[in-house]
Chains A and B, each alone.
Chain A
Amino acid sequence: MMIPTSHYLFLSLGLFTIGVIGVVTRRNVIIILMSIELMLNAVNINLVAFSRLVGSAEGHVFAIFVITDAAAEAAVGLGIIIAFFRNRETLLGDEMDLLKW
Chain B
Amino acid sequence: MPAEYFLAHIWMIPLFPLAGAALMLLIGRRLPNSAVSVVCVGSVLLSMCFAFGAIWQLITRPAAERVVSFNLFDWVPAGMMHTNAGRVMDFHVPWGVLMDPLTAVMLLVVTGVGFLIHVYSTGYMAHEGGYYRFFGYLNLFMFSMLTLVLANNLLLLFVGWEGVGLCSYLLIGFYFLRKSASDAGKKAFIVNRIGDAGFLLGLFLMLGTLGTIQFTELGPAIAAGNFEIGNGTLTAIALLLFVGATGKSAQLPLYVWLPDAMEGPTPVSALIHAATMVTAGVYMIARTNAVFSMAPRALEVVAVVGCVTSLFAATMGLVQNDIKRVLAYSTVSQLGYMFLACGVGAFTAGVFHLMTHAFFKALLFLGSGSVIHSLSGEQDMRKMGALWTKIPTTARTFLVASIAIAGIPPLAGFFSKDAILGHAFEHSRVLWFLGFITAGMTAFYMFRLVNMTFFGTSRVDHEVEHHIHESPASMTVPLMILAVLSVIGGWIGWPESLGGSDRFAQFLSPVMAKAGGETAEAVGAVNAVSGASTEYLLMLLSVAIAAAGIWLASRWYIKQPEVPGKIAANFGGLYRLLYNKYYVDQIYDAMFVNRMKDLALTLGAFDNGVINGLGVDGAGWLTRFGSSVSMIWDSWIIDGLVNASAAIVNVVSWLVQMLQTGRVARYALFMLLGVLIFLGYYLHISGYTLQKLWHY
Which A residues form the contact surface with B (CB < 8 A)?
Answer: 4-7, 9-10, 20, 23-26, 32, 93-94, 96-101
**Residue in contact with A97 in the complex, picked from B662, B695, B696, CB distance below 8 Å:** B662
Given contacts A4-B695, A20-B672, A24-B665, 15 further A-B contacts (CB under 8 A): A6-B694, A6-B696, A9-B693, A23-B668, A24-B666, A24-B669, A24-B672, A25-B665, A26-B665, A93-B663, A93-B664, A97-B662, A97-B663, A98-B662, A100-B660
Chain A contacts for B527, CB-based, 8 A = none
B533 at the interface (CB under 8 A from A): no
**Residue in contact with A93 in the complex, picked from B657, B665, B693, B696, CB distance below 8 Å:** B665
What are 9 A-B pairs with beta-carbon distances under 8 A? A4-B695, A4-B696, A6-B696, A24-B665, A24-B669, A25-B665, A93-B663, A100-B663, A101-B657
Q: A4-B695, A6-B693, A24-B672 in contact; A101/B665 too (CB < 8 A)?
A: no
What separation, in Å, do the CA atoms of A93 and B669 have in the docked complex?
Answer: 14
What separation, in Å, do the CA atoms of A20 and B679 have in the docked complex?
Answer: 16
Contact pattern, B 654-675, Cβ under 8 Å of A = 1, otherwise 0 = 0001001111111011001000
- The answer on a CB contact under 8 Å between B672 and A101 is no
Contact pattern, B 679-696, Cβ under 8 Å of A = 1, otherwise 0 = 000000000000001111
Q: A4-B695, A6-B694, A10-B694 in contact; A94/B663 too (CB < 8 A)?
A: yes
Residues of B443-482 at the interface with A, using a CB-CB cut-off of 8 Å, are none
**CB nearest to A6 among chain B residues:** B696
The prevalent SS among residues of B at the interface is helix
Chain A contacts for B660, CB-based, 8 A = 100-101
- The answer on a CB contact under 8 Å between A32 and B661 is no
Nearest CB of chain B from residue A35's CB, rounded to whole Å:
10
Nearest CB of chain A from residue B356's CB, rounded to whole Å:
113
Nearest CB of chain B from residue A95's CB, rounded to whole Å:
9
Nearest CB of chain A from residue B672's CB, rounded to whole Å:
6
Chain A contacts for B661, CB-based, 8 A = 97, 100
Contacts between the two chains (Cβ within 8 Å), count: 44
Chain A contacts for B657, CB-based, 8 A = 101
Chain B contacts for A10, CB-based, 8 A = 693-694
Q: A100-B660, A101-B660 in contact; A23/B665 too (CB < 8 A)?
A: yes
Chain A contacts for B664, CB-based, 8 A = 93, 96, 99
**CB nearest to A23 among chain B residues:** B668
**Residue in contact with A100 in the complex, picked from B662, B672, B696, CB distance below 8 Å:** B662
What separation, in Å, do the CA atoms of A69 and B669 have in the docked complex?
Answer: 23
What separation, in Å, do the CA atoms of A20 and B675 have in the docked complex?
Answer: 12
Residues of B496-518 at the interface with A, using a CB-CB cut-off of 8 Å, are none
Chain A contacts for B693, CB-based, 8 A = 6, 9-10
- The answer on a CB contact under 8 Å between A32 and B662 is no
**What 7 pairs between A and B have smallest CB-CB spacing?**
A100-B662, A97-B662, A6-B696, A24-B669, A24-B665, A93-B665, A6-B694
Nearest CB of chain B from residue A7's CB, rounded to whole Å:
8
**CB nearest to B694 among chain A residues:** A6
- The answer on a CB contact under 8 Å between A5 and B669 is no
Chain A contacts for B668, CB-based, 8 A = 20, 23-24
Nearest CB of chain A from residue B396's CB, rounded to whole Å:
118
What separation, in Å, do the CA atoms of A96 and B662 have in the docked complex?
Answer: 8
Chain A contacts for B694, CB-based, 8 A = 4, 6-7, 10
**CB nearest to A24 among chain B residues:** B669
Q: Which of A4, A26, A94 has the most CB of B within 10 A?
A: A94
Chain A contacts for B665, CB-based, 8 A = 23-26, 32, 93-94
**CB nearest to B669 among chain A residues:** A24
Nearest CB of chain A from residue B397's CB, rounded to whole Å:
114
Q: A20-B672, A23-B668 in contact; A5/B696 too (CB < 8 A)?
A: yes
What separation, in Å, do the CA atoms of A20 and B670 have in the docked complex?
Answer: 12
Chain A contacts for B672, CB-based, 8 A = 20, 24
Chain A contacts for B669, CB-based, 8 A = 24
Contact pattern, B 333-364, Cβ under 8 Å of A = 1, otherwise 0 = 00000000000000000000000000000000
Chain B contacts for A24, CB-based, 8 A = 665-666, 668-669, 672
What separation, in Å, do the CA atoms of A97 and B660 have in the docked complex?
Answer: 10
- The answer on a CB contact under 8 Å between A6 and B662 is no
What separation, in Å, do the CA atoms of A5 and B693 have in the docked complex?
Answer: 10
**CB nearest to B696 among chain A residues:** A6
Chain B contacts for A96, CB-based, 8 A = 664
- The answer on a CB contact under 8 Å between A101 and B663 is no
Chain B contacts for A20, CB-based, 8 A = 668, 672
Chain A contacts for B696, CB-based, 8 A = 4-6, 9
What separation, in Å, do the CA atoms of A4 and B665 have in the docked complex?
Answer: 34
What separation, in Å, do the CA atoms of A98 and B661 have in the docked complex?
Answer: 11
**Residue in contact with A6 in the complex, picked from B663, B666, B695, CB distance below 8 Å:** B695
What separation, in Å, do the CA atoms of A79 and B561 have in the docked complex?
Answer: 140
- The answer on a CB contact under 8 Å between A99 and B695 is no
What separation, in Å, do the CA atoms of A94 and B661 have in the docked complex?
Answer: 9
What separation, in Å, do the CA atoms of A96 and B666 have in the docked complex?
Answer: 12
Chain B contacts for A23, CB-based, 8 A = 665, 668
What separation, in Å, do the CA atoms of A5 and B696 have in the docked complex?
Answer: 7
